[in-house]
Amino acid sequence: MARMTGTASRGEQLLGVAVVSTTPVAGGNICTSTRLRLSDGRSAVIKTRPQAPAGFFAAEARGLRWLRDAGGAAVPDVLAVDDDCLVLAWIEPGRPTAEAAESLGRALAATHAAGADEFGAAQDGYIGLAPLPNRPLPSWPEFYASRRVMPYVRAGLQRGALTPDEADVIETVVKRIHTLAGDPEPVARIHGDLWSGNVVWGQEDTAWVIDPAAHGGHRETDLAMLSLFGITHLQRILDAYSEVAPLAEGWEDRVALHQLHPLLVHAVLFGGGYGARAAAAARSLL
């Protein structure tokens, strides 16, 4: 089998185990992922990015470990991390079965129930390559408005990804967020970027979560993100989740509110029609 010398050497330095072979892993437009077959019989995946932003991989590793500590949704082991890369235990791919979806729903409820100390996190992070401000605030509406929505409205305007009219309608939602947010809920331990691409369907009817933007937030955020770009067996996930942790009345009406942040992030990072989609989501709430 082929062996990518530079990547293999980096893996060996960090793991202290010889790399027998390397295989590129498809998917992802931010980092390059490579499977490492190790001489002790294990496999790992190493994620690399030249000139990664400061603390980029450390933030991901921190989020993965925090989610794993919850004992809910399956999270791969962090084997090593440095400024230029992250090494994780390999997940052997499987099929997106209905059983795996139901298991994910129940496990995600357990992750959320593990909670957090406050809305936010002790350190800022990243969502994709976008900086993610996490400084805590006392309530979820305050945190979501100030740390998740408005920074990206401003960035979207600066980059031409949002028109002034689109920004205005989103700001109108922000002004009404305490009413739109529903009854207060306890701080949940959330993944923070739980779109379908960050769910890996593994063996034995297990779904794993990767690439988090983890923080103390609102549990409906993760569920709204799962539905934003579509995921196999979404209704099975939601039903299983609700069996363990029933959702608050009117949660379906708040999905658009929780989707504002990821849509704005996509507008800032990718442009296209995401700014218009964010404004349309905002209008649906008014």
pLDDT per position as a tens digit, 244-277:
999 999 999 999 999 999 999 999 999 989 999 9
Q: What percent of the chain has pLDDT over 90?
A: 94
State percent of the chain over pLDDT 70.
Answer: 98
Q: Cα Rg for the chain, rounded, in angstroms? A: 19
Q: Is 1 a residue whose pLDDT tops 50?
A: no
Q: How is residue 122 written in tokens?
A: 């002790």
Whether 165 sits among the annotated catalytic residues: the reply is: no
> Which of the four pLDDT bands, split at 50, 70 and 90, describes residue 158?
very high
pLDDT in tens, 179-215: 999 999 999 999 999 999 999 999 999 999 999 999 9
Residues of the chain with CATH 3.30.200.20: 5-89
Helix (H) or strand (E) holding 163: none
pLDDT value at position 4?
Answer: 59
In the three-class reduction of DSSP (H, G, I as helix; E, B as strand; rest coil), residue 56 is classed as: helix
Q: What's the rounded Cα separation, in Å, for the pair 101 and 121?
A: 28
Q: What is the rounded distance in angstroms from the CA atom of residue 46 to the CA atom of residue 157?
A: 36
Q: Which of 83, 84, 193, 205 is catalytic?
A: 193
CATH of domain 5-89: 3.30.200.20
Q: Which pLDDT value is given to residue 27?
A: 72
Report the predicted TM-score, pTM, of the whole model to 2 decimal places. Answer: 0.95
The CATH class of the 98-283 domain is alpha beta
Alpha-carbon distance of 23 to 25, in angstroms, equals 6
